[in-house]
């Protein structure tokens, strides 16, 4: 199978190198198209106001001066003239969690989402480390190989993306694979202000909020128990339960 691999940590990150190697070892034809640097938190941003430089790094790897979404978009809309279109997009391995609300901001998830927008099955893989120093990328890569194999043989509905989070532990310590729903975090902590050398203020985005909706059945809970969390998410963001109420609002709006 032909697989397009991307990420948001950058083309030289250990996670993407190990993921590509394991997918190739499983017999897949892998093309890597990834950002030239860390673009974590880029979400679905697409570069529209300037050209995007692409540099071939080796026979099957391209370095893109753009976002994760740029990478997948270019790779699937004509950047390659001499390669057949991929069969699947796999994004990762992210070097941090993409649990709950994280998926809204995640460049890793957004790269997979762009693949889904453009018609391909897509998976996002993240490694969840308690101390923010992930070590067991091979564990996440082994999980990815199994998920890719099953997704290819048993396709999901057309608007579905798999968001996979893997505990940062040895493979033989993994307790299970579990189908989960997204949990939820508390509101993000305050931004951090500091003066620059000229006395002008600058800011850092504060830490993500702590776990809130994190009980049984959630991605947070699966990770806490040493399981691989596999969450099907969808592209359609419509809140269907609110349509009737919103319809009642707009019927009363005046046009003149």
Tens of pLDDT, residues 34-50: 999 999 989 999 999 99
Residues β-bridged to residue 126: 94, 165
Burial 222-240 (b: 16+ CB within 10 A, else e): bbeeebbbbbebeeeeeee
- pLDDT confidence of residue 173: 97
Long-range contacts of 200-208 (CB under 8 A, 24+ apart): 205/41, 208/101, 208/102
Q: What is the mean pLDDT of residues 116-132?
A: 94
Mean residue pLDDT across the chain:
93
The string of pLDDT tens digits covering residues 203-256 is 887 777 676 667 899 999 999 999 999 999 998 889 999 999 999 999 988 887
**DSSP code of residue 139:** H
CA-nearest of 118, 100, 135 to 33 is 118
| CA 41 to mean position of chain CA atoms | 10
Tell me how far apart the alpha carbons of residues 254 and 57 are, in angstroms, rounded to a whole number: 58
Check residue 212 and give its pLDDT. Answer: 67
Average pLDDT over residues 9-18: 98
The model's pLDDT over 194-204, given as tens digits with 9 standing for 90+, comes to 888 888 888 88
Structural domain boundaries in the chain:
2-184+211-251
Cβ contacts of 182 within 8 Å, gap of 6 or more: 99, 100, 101, 103, 163, 218, 219, 231, 233
Domain 2-184+211-251 in CATH: superfamily?
Answer: Survival protein SurE-like phosphatase/nucleotidase (3.40.1210.10)
State pLDDT tens for residues 59-87: 999 999 999 999 999 999 999 988 889 99
Q: What is the pTM of this model?
A: 0.91
pLDDT digits (tens, 9 = 90+) for 183-196: 977 677 787 888 88
- Which residues are CB-contacts of 130 (< 8 A; sequence separation ≥ 6)? 168
User: Tell me, what's the pLDDT at 237?
Assistant: 86
């Amino acid at each position: 199978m032909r697989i397009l691999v991307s990420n948001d940590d950058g083309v030289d990150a250990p996670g993407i190198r190990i993921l590509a190697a394991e997918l190739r070892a499983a017999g897949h034809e892998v093309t890597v198209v990834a950002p030239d640097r860390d673009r974590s938190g880029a979400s679905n941003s697409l570069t529209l106001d300037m050209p995007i430089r692409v540099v071939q790094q080796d026979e099957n790897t391209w370095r893109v001066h753009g976002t994760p979404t740029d990478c997948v978009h270019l790779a699937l809309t004509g950047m390659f003239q001499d390669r057949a279109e991929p069969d699947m997009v796999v994004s990762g391995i992210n070097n941090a969690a993409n649990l709950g609300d994280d998926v809204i901001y995640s460049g890793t998830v957004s790269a997979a989402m762009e693949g889904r927008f453009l018609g391909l099955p897509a998976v996002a893989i993240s490694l969840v480390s308690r101390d923010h120093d992930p070590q067991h990328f091979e564990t996440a890569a082994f999980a990815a190989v199994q998920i890719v194999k099953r997704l290819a043989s048993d396709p999901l509905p057309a608007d579905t993306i798999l968001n996979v989070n893997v505990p940062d532990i040895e493979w033989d310590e993994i307790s299970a694979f579990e189908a989960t729903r997204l949990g939820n975090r508390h509101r993000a902590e305050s931004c951090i202000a500091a003066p620059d050398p000229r006395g002008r203020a600058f800011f850092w985005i504060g830490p993500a909020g702590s776990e809130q909706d994190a009980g049984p059945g959630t991605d947070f809970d699966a990770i806490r128990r040493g399981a691989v969390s596999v969450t099907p998410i969808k592209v359609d963001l419509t809140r269907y339960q609110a349509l009737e109420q919103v319809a009642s609002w707009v019927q009363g709006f005046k046009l003149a």
